[in-house]
Chains A and B, each alone.
Chain A
Amino acid sequence: MNDDRSKILASIRASLATAAGVRAARGPHGSPPAIAAPPPTTELTVPAVGPKGPASIRAVTGFQGALDRVQGVCHRVTSDAGAADALQAVIADLGVRRVVRSDDHLVIEILERVIGGFELLPPDADRSLLLQCELGVSRATIGVVEYGTIVLSSGDTQGVKGTPTERQRLVALLPATHVAILAATDLVETWDAALTALCSTSGDLPPTATFATGPSRTADIELELVLGVHGPKNQHVILLEHR
């Protein structure tokens, strides 16, 4: 194993040296090197994410439009009660009987307002039960305006590596329908900005972060688009404009 490590590194170094030698021998009048000099290395730029203020209406409508283009559904609400109503409507529409939630406090609060009619499971329920759930509710830590993407981070509930993450990994993945709760102040403009925000909020990256854009899809059979393969078939985002 160690042997392979030194073998590979030695081989890379020998090859790079050979290429450099050829380049030098060719001189300034030779053909230009295929591998040009690398661009100047910039330090890790973590542009400060500005203090969170009220999201602009442009960002909200932009996110909604982008999610719509990838067959996701965005519910814009202006109060926690509105969020509960939207969630209730989704559950009723789909005739869902078994719901699993993450352990995010906002998710729990909103679900408390939803009138029953279904069985609610916590994220640490038995896996065989989780596999039978038809709908999962969890929090999205960031929303990306340009693509309608939501960021789901998990794997560190105790905050060993930074800000604690919620328990949502299977909640947002196994059921056919996923409902994400997203605060409008967590919207950022671009995918790159979301990546930056992800490591600047906690100082460290969470064990796993998934950038999810719309329902899962495939085109493996005659390139025909089919929504809902192994991941969720329906992607709903409840966007809290008041938060």
Chain B
Amino acid sequence: MTASGSEPRETGSIHHLHAHQFDDLVPRALANVELRGALAKATNTIRNRRAIALEGIDDLQKLRGQAKAIKTEALAHLDEHLETFERHATANGIQVQWAADAESARAMVLKIAIKNGTRLAVKAKSMVSEEIGLNDALIDAGIVPVETDLGEWIVQLAEEPPSHILAPAIHKRRREIRDLLARVLGRPMPDDAAGLTEVARNELRGRFAQAELGISGANFLVAETGSFLLIENEGNIRLTTSLPKIHVAVVGIEKIVPRLQDLGPLVRIITRSATGQPISCYQTLVTSPKTSLEDDGPEEIHLILLDNGRSKLLEDDLTAETLRCIRCSACLNVCPVYRQIGGHAYGSVYPGPIGAIFTPLIAGMHAASQLPGASSLCGACREVCPVDIDIPGVLLHLRHRAAEGDRSTGGRPASDPQTAEKNRVMRRGFRLWRWAMGSSRRFEIFGALGRLLATVVGRVPSLAKYAGPLGGWTNGRAVPRSPGRSFRSSDVARRLRREEEDRKR
């Protein structure tokens, strides 16, 4: 299971990716009234909280600029910062490893787990862990992974993937959670959120104490000191990194910042953007394992630096912006598409606008080329992004990559078969359109044909299902009433033409 010997890969991989089913997943999500109710309520709430939290900052644009500059600088010299980080972290006693892909990272975690006789591993919520499918790998090796973030624990018990980067159980209503816990734990559950939270605290306490291994991600790696920062509200990350003897952090290489002082602006903006709090409850800066037998804390800390296709994004200044992301999820909450379809419909552990660009960039266009289409390009995502990622720009860039190809694809279109078919039909349609618009005679003929069709379908709406390639447009829309005759043949148009001729004379 080691990466050595395997061929260098063009792209990374994302666990359980089924973004190619996007067209099937969306109608299912839209038909789920319960889901849409939960989503509307939740995203509105977070959005408002964020807006209020940011009102308090006089110099929001300055802070955004700082955050962006820090991440930009880090990425411009990513190789050097990673080497600096490795040097300092190693000197501090942290064991640093590099994983080129998901398989390699999984193998490293398993090796550490097995070496220490792990039967139970407690986990802090981590997107990278979802990305590489760590839980399934642990289970296959006979190790029980227990998610300890409340929302993540709930979706783990429900055997579902998280549907939101920050609030994994955002799609679930309270009574759904109550019934789920009652079923899994085999006893009646309280009705209120506080009661259910208490149940989670008591259930998980014992797990923290038993676990041989704690697994987390990290929000930021500090090159200058070899430390990493963990941000949370619940205290489960503190427990995960305090009680077990061994702590493993799996972290994307883009999480690096050059200096310790860079954490200030980033901490200031990340929680406001994420949950609307001025600051999260806990930020834990880990610099080394405990230094003597008597101390508290883990005896060993392992840090795995994961590439999994990220370094490839640096080839292009636009796609490189994606690596600035600090996973605050503000773009999900404002996206008109996410707010309707929710996270699961994206078929990727990274949903929403950032997921629509990050997923195909990491896993390859052939696996997720429909996702960049899941946007109205309204730009709300960019407006709220704390590090000013040009998400609409990258979306367009990826649509172009799917339809025409670019340097990275060798000038050939790169997409999954569904997107390729859609693009073929669209290209044919626009070719026809261009020809029809080419002369006034053809324009009139096509106009008359269109009016005729609209009249017929207007009378017999069931005919719309035979729209063929136009089905994507006609499904879910009523055919507008035909005007009977064209604008060009109306009295107004005739008078305008006469006036135009008079002026010319």
Q: Could you say which of A13, A158, A196, A222 has the most chain B C-beta atoms within 10 Å of its C-beta?
A: A222
The answer, yes or no, to whether B268 is at the interface (CB within 8 Å) is yes
**B484: CB under 8 A from chain A?**
no
Which chain A residue has the least Cβ–Cβ distance from B324? A35
A22-B317, A213-B281 known; A192+B264 contact, CB < 8 A: yes
Interface residues of A in 80-114 (CB under 8 A from B): none
Instruction: Please give me the residue from chain B that is nearest to A211 by CB atom.
Output: B283
B281 close to A41 (CB less than 8 A): no
Assuming A4-B104, A157-B294, A223-B167, is B177 touching A45 (CB within 8 A)? Answer: no
Contact of B83 among A7, A9, A214 (CB under 8 A): A9
**Are A161 and B79 in touch, CB under 8 angstroms?**
no
Which residues of chain A have C-beta atoms less than 8 A from B100's C-beta? 3-4, 7-8, 11
Contacts of A18 in B (CB 8 A): 315-316
Tally of chain A residues near chain B (CB < 8 A): 81
**Cβ contact of B197, chosen from A128, A170, A229, cutoff 8 A:** A229
- Are B317 and A33 in contact, CB atoms less than 8 angstroms apart? yes
Q: Are B98 and A34 in contact (CB under 8 A)?
A: no
Q: Decide: A147 and B104 in contact? CB cutoff 8 A.
A: no
Asked if B469 is at the interface (CB within 8 A of a chain A CB), the reply is: no
C-alpha spacing A219/B2, complex, angstroms:
40
- Partner of A222 from B3, B193, B263, B311 at Cβ < 8 Å: B193
Q: Is the CB of A223 within 8 A of B313?
A: no
| Residues B321 and A44 in contact, CB atoms below 8 Å apart | no
With A15-B312, A154-B297: A219-B283 Cβ-Cβ less than 8 Å: no
B289 at interface (Cβ–Cβ under 8 A)? yes
Contact of A156 with B263 in the complex, beta carbons under 8 Å: no
In the assembled complex, the CB of A218 is this many whole angstroms from the nearest CB of chain B, namely: 5
- A168-181 vs B, CB cutoff 8 Å, 1 = contact: the mask equals 11100100000000
Would A216 and B169 be within 8 Å (CB), given that A19-B316, A33-B317, A229-B236 are in contact? no
Separation of A142 and B402 alpha carbons in the complex (Å): 53
Q: Is B227 an interface position by the 8 A CB rule?
A: yes
> Inside 8 A of A123's CB, which chain B residues have their CB?
296
Which of A4, A156, A167, A205 has most B Cβ within 10 Å? Answer: A4
Among B148, B260, B294, find the residue whose CB has the most chain A CB atoms closer than 10 A.
B260
A8, B227: Cβ atoms closer than 8 Å: no
In B1-41, the 8 Å CB interface with A consists of: 2-4, 8, 38, 41
Q: Which of A36, A190, A220, A228 contacts B169 (CB 8 A)?
A: A220
With beta carbons under 8 angstroms apart, the residue of A19, A157, A226 that contacts B194 is A226
A191 touches B267 (CB 8 A): yes
For residues 349 through 408 of chain B, which have their beta carbon under 8 Å from a beta carbon of chain A?
390, 393, 407
Determine if B215 is an interface residue (Cβ-Cβ < 8 Å). Answer: no
Q: How far is the CA of A146 from the CA of B183 in the complex (A)?
A: 45
Interface contact B261-A15, CB-CB below 8 Å: no
**Contact call B177/A221, Cβ cutoff below 8 A:** yes
CB distance from A191 to the nearest CB of B (A): 6
Decide if B279 touches A191 in the complex (CB within 8 Å). Answer: yes
- Tell me the smallest distance from the CB of B99 to a CB of chain A, in Å: 6
In the bound complex, do residue A44 and residue B290 qualify as a contact, i.e. CB atoms below 8 Å apart?
Answer: no
Is B209 at the interface (CB under 8 A from chain A)?
A: yes
Closest to B224 in A: A44
Instruction: For the complex, give the distance between the alpha carbons of A230 and B177 in Å.
Output: 18
Give B306's nearest chain A residue, CB to CB.
Answer: A8
Choose from A13, A35, A155 the contact partner of B72 (Cβ within 8 Å): A35
Does A50 touch B at the CB level, under 8 Å?
no
Chain B 298-329 interface 0/1 with A at a Cβ cutoff of 8 Å (1 = within):
00000001010001111111101100000000
> Which residues of chain A from 182 to 197 have any CB-CB distance to chain B below 8 Å in the complex?
190-192, 195-196
Among A33, A128, A221, residue most surrounded by chain B Cβ atoms (within 10 Å): A221
Residue of B nearest to A167 (CB): B296
Q: Mark A117-130, 1 if CB is under 8 A from B, else 0.
A: 00000011001100
Return chain A residues, CB-CB under 8 Å to B317.
19, 22-23, 33-35
Q: Does A44 contact B261, Cβ atoms closer than 8 Å?
A: yes
Chain A 204-235 interface 0/1 with B at a Cβ cutoff of 8 Å (1 = within): 01111111111111111111101011111000
Q: Which residue numbers of A lie inside 8 Å of B, CB to CB?
A: 1, 3-5, 7-9, 11-16, 18-19, 22-23, 33-39, 41-42, 44-45, 70, 123-124, 127-128, 131, 147, 149, 154-158, 160-161, 167-170, 173, 190-192, 195-196, 198-199, 205-224, 226, 228-232
Could you list 19 examples of A-B contacts with CB < 8 Å?
A4-B104, A11-B100, A11-B312, A15-B315, A35-B75, A42-B259, A131-B205, A154-B296, A155-B291, A173-B239, A199-B260, A209-B287, A210-B284, A215-B281, A216-B282, A217-B234, A223-B45, A223-B46, A223-B167
Given contacts A199-B225, A208-B286, A230-B148, 19 further A-B contacts (CB under 8 A): A3-B4, A8-B307, A16-B76, A158-B292, A160-B291, A167-B296, A173-B238, A195-B285, A207-B291, A208-B285, A208-B297, A209-B285, A212-B281, A213-B282, A216-B233, A221-B193, A223-B46, A224-B174, A231-B238
For the complex of A and B, 9 pairs with smallest distance between CB atoms: A231-B235, A169-B296, A220-B151, A192-B264, A15-B314, A38-B73, A34-B317, A230-B235, A229-B234
